[in-house]
């Protein structure tokens, strides 16, 4: 009973203290309260034998997450997660392994060389005085490591470098390649609080062995990629950013996207699929590039359709003439709220490829794909930006043999000679050829003979259609030329008739002038 009375008295005293403290806080000036809090912290630190080190999620520049923070996160997940009381578990798409990490506002302990270290996973909601169209609070995450002051040199000189090294090793060991896509800028909310990229596991099965391409060309590309992966010191020596550009061009269905997947699988790189139409301006494009990591491939597919890169450089005379013609026309007021789409310019894209910001990070490959190489501005695809241009052409016999081996496990066949001749005479994409080598259905399975015979028929049909199309285009061109000739003849005839009328009017004028002169002479003689 006496113990109960003591606890009751202690509770009442604490309640009274906190009540009085809240009342006092309301009457103490803010400046004095701040100084009082500072002095209190100093007093506690003076008597406390423990030191603290804070590791923030974002560095001082605020552009990307701290490498040290990510290493600590990986280290704690691997070494200390079993001792945590609050865990955060994540399961990637189609992944069998759970990723368990220390949850926010939890504490774990670690031991190193006889010293005990406490780790705290902290989260704060930072207040902001900036008015934003995207409501939400900015979350500030950080780790706090606490240790006894006598272990200061041990923690700073040995333990933290050990955590960094082990965390990086865990990251590499558990790394799962990812396919990224950029989020619309309207959903970024706060640049720190919202990721600008979303991702899913990258699971494309394409390899260079399954790629329908000339074996010699594949071997050359593989040799280039292997040399690039091992060329960090070389790029530093020559003073160039560690990056390389590829332009993949050719008709649809020739394997441009498959080539990108094969490159990513060979190099073990992440893939960033950049959708330019979702990027509002050059500044956002720069932010997206900063948030990419090394060991990655940055892809812009169908770049000729993403933004208008063909009309960026206009003739100045034409612009002046257009401006002069529009001066007399009333100009409608512009709506500032209207979204006219992307304002990414050619200059911004060029800076993205090889400007100063392209040196941030390293070991990146930038790939553009297009169906129409001739539509792109030459400045965009010159050497140094797109270092190698790879034409993904129609399927020829050597590429067909790769498909026959992959789809039907056949290296030689009696129809190969006929197929080789037809492929040289007919333009058919590897995708169309592969479609003819696949079984029609589970019930109607086809053997190699049936597949090759079907391919021969498809090639013959494509050849006939191409010939008919060529004849139709030739006839249309001839008809157009004849119409142009008739039109020119009519113009000449019209011009000749006009000249005759002009000469007749001149003769009539001369005759009138002669009659007037004759009348004047008669009047003069009468007088």
**Average pLDDT rounded to a whole number, residues 486-503:** 60
13 domain residue, yes or no: no
Residues 195 and 273 in one domain: yes
Within-domain flag for 16: no
Does one domain contain both 165 and 196?
Answer: no
Does residue 387 sit in the same domain as residue 404? no
The DSSP bridge pattern shows strands 388-391 and 243-249 to be parallel
My answer on whether 26 and 156 are in the same domain is yes
Higher pLDDT, 523 or 18: 18
pLDDT tens readout for residues 435-474? 999 876 666 667 889 899 999 999 999 999 989 998 998 8
Q: Which two tokens stand for residue 236?
A: 């530093």
Closest residue by Cα to residue 218 from 267, 264, 263: 263
Average pLDDT over residues 513-519: 66
Q: What is the mean pLDDT of residues 23-32?
A: 67
Compute the Cα dihedral for 389, 395, 398, 402 and give only its sign.
positive
* Same structural domain, 85 and 195: no
- Is residue 352 within 8 A of residue 289, CB to CB? The reply is yes
Q: Which sign does the torsion angle of CA 238, 240, 246, 247 carry?
A: negative
Residue 104's pLDDT is 75
- Do 212 and 167 lie in one domain? The reply is no
Residue 132 falls inside a structural domain: yes
- Give me the domain span that covers residue 417: 399-483
Average pLDDT over residues 143-161: 93
- Of 119 and 495, more confident: 119
Q: Are residues 302 and 422 in the same domain?
A: no
Could you tell me the CA-to-CA distances from 183 to 188, 299, 391 in Å, in that order?
A: 7, 15, 31
Q: At what angle do helices 215-229 and 256-267 cross, to 10 degrees?
A: 40
Least confident of 151-160, 206-215, 227-236, 356-365: 356-365
From the list 156, 159, 142, the residue with the least C-alpha distance to 54 is 142
Q: Find out whether 227 and 169 touch, Cβ atoms under 8 Å.
A: no
DSSP E strand stretches across 45-114 = 50-56, 87-91, 98-102, 106-112
In the chain, the number of structural domains is 3
Compute the average pLDDT of residues 36-43: 65
Do 255 and 123 lie in one domain? The reply is no
Residue 430 is assigned to a structural domain of this protein: yes
Task: With a cut of 70, say whether residue 497 has pLDDT above it.
Answer: no
User: Does residue 6 form part of some domain?
Assistant: no
Question: How far is residue 238's CA from residue 356's CA, in Å, rounded to a whole number?
Answer: 16
User: Domain boundary at 110, 144, 176, which?
Assistant: 176
Tell me, yes or no, whether 332 lies in a domain.
no
Residue 457: inside a domain, yes or no? Answer: yes
For residue 64, pLDDT over 50 is answered with yes
Least confident of 70-84, 230-244, 338-352: 338-352
- Are 293 and 180 within 8 A, CB to CB? no
* Residue with token string 């049936």: 450
Same domain (yes/no): 231, 154: no
Ranges 193-202, 252-261, 515-524, most confident: 252-261
| 161 and 256 co-located in one domain | no
Of 122, 146, 176, at which residue does a domain stop?
176
pLDDT for residue 133: 41
Q: What is the reported pLDDT for 294?
A: 87
524 phi/psi in degrees, rounded to 5: -65, -40
Between vectors from CA 321 to CA 320 and to CA 322, what angle results, nearest 5°?
Answer: 90
Per-residue model confidence (pLDDT) at position 478 = 84
Q: Which residues have CB under 8 Å from 402's CB, separation 6+?
A: 210, 211, 212, 213, 215
The reply to whether 361 and 430 lie within a common domain is no
What is the domain-level CATH number for residue 231? Answer: 3.40.50.300
In the structure encoding, which two tokens stand for residue 168, read together? Answer: 């990086």
Q: pLDDT: is 486 or 366 the higher one? A: 366
The pLDDT, as a whole number, for residue 94 is: 41
- Higher pLDDT pick, 48 / 423: 423
Both 206 and 347 in one domain: the answer is yes
pLDDT tens for 284-301 read 898 898 889 889 999 999
pLDDT confidence tier of residue 430, bands split at 50, 70 and 90: very high
Average pLDDT over residues 488-508: 63
Nearest CA-CA partner of 106 in 73, 138, 67, 139: 73
When mean pLDDT is compared over 81-90, 170-179, 201-210, 340-349, the highest value belongs to 201-210
Residue 332's pLDDT is 37
* Average pLDDT for the chain: 79
pLDDT at 499: 62
Find, among 427, 382, 421, 281, the residue nearest to 341 by Cα: 281
364 part of a folded domain = yes
Q: Which of 373, 391, 409 is the last residue of a domain?
A: 391
Q: What is the pLDDT at residue 63?
A: 61
Among the listed ranges 116-125, 207-216, 318-327, which one has the minimum average pLDDT value?
318-327
Residue 127 or residue 415, greater confidence: 415
State the pLDDT confidence band at 208, using cuts at 50, 70 and 90.
Answer: very high
pLDDT at 414 over 90: yes
Question: Which has more pLDDT, 365 or 349?
Answer: 365
Give me the percent of the chain exceeding a pLDDT of 70: 67
């Amino acid at each position: 009973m006496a113990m109960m009375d003591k606890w009751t008295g202690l509770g009442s005293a604490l309640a009274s203290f906190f009540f009085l403290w809240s009342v006092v806080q309301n009457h103490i000036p803010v400046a004095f309260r701040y100084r009082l809090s500072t002095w209190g912290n100093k007093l506690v630190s003076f008597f406390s034998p423990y030191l603290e080190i804070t590791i923030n999620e974002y560095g001082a520049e605020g552009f990307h997450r701290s490498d040290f923070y990510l290493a600590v996160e990986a280290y704690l997940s691997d070494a200390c997660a079993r001792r945590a009381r609050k865990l955060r578990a994540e399961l990637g798409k189609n992944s069998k392994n759970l990723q368990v990490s220390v949850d926010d506002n939890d504490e774990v302990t670690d031991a190193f060389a006889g010293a005990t270290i406490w780790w705290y996973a902290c989260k704060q909601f930072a207040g902001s005085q900036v008015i934003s169209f995207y409501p939400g609070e900015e979350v500030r995450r950080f780790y706090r490591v606490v240790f006894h002051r006598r272990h200061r040199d041990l923690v700073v000189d040995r333990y933290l470098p050990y955590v960094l090294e082990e965390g990086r090793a865990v990251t590499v060991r558990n790394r799962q390649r990812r396919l990224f896509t950029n989020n619309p800028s309207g959903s970024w909310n706060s640049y720190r609080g919202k990721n600008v990229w979303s991702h899913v596991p990258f699971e494309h099965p394409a390899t260079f062995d399954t790629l329908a391409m000339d074996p010699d060309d594949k071997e050359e590309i593989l040799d280039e990629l292997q040399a690039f992966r091992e060329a960090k010191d070389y790029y530093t020596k020559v003073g160039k950013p560690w990056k390389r550009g590829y332009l993949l061009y050719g008709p649809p269905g020739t394997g441009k996207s498959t080539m990108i997947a094969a490159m990513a699988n060979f190099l073990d790189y992440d893939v960033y699929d950049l959708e330019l139409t979702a990027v509002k301006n050059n500044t956002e494009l720069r932010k997206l590039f900063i948030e990419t990591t090394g060991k990655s491939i940055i892809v812009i597919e169908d770049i000729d359709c993403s933004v208008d890169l063909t009309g960026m450089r206009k003739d100045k005379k034409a612009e002046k003439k257009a401006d002069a013609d529009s001066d007399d026309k009333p100009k409608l007021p512009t709506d500032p709220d209207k979204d006219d789409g992307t304002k990414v310019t050619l200059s911004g894209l060029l800076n993205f490829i090889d400007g100063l910001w392209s040196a941030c990070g390293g070991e990146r490959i930038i790939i553009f794909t297009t169906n129409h190489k001739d539509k792109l501005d030459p400045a965009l695809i010159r050497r140094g930006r797109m270092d190698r241009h790879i034409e993904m052409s129609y399927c020829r016999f050597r590429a067909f043999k790769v498909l026959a081996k992959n789809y039907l496990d056949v290296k030689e066949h009696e129809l190969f000679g006929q197929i080789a001749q037809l492929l040289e005479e007919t333009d058919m994409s590897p995708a169309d050829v592969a479609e003819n080598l696949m079984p029609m259905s589970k019930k109607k399975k086809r053997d190699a003979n049936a597949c090759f015979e079907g391919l021969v028929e498809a090639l013959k049909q494509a050849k006939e259609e191409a010939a008919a199309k060529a004849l139709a285009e030739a006839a249309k061109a001839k008809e157009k030329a004849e119409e142009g000739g008739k039109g020119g003849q009519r113009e000449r005839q019209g011009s000749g008739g006009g000249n005759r009328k002009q000469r007749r009017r001149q003769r009539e004028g001369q005759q009138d002038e002669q009659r007037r002169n004759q009348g004047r002479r008669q009047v003069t003689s009468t007088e």
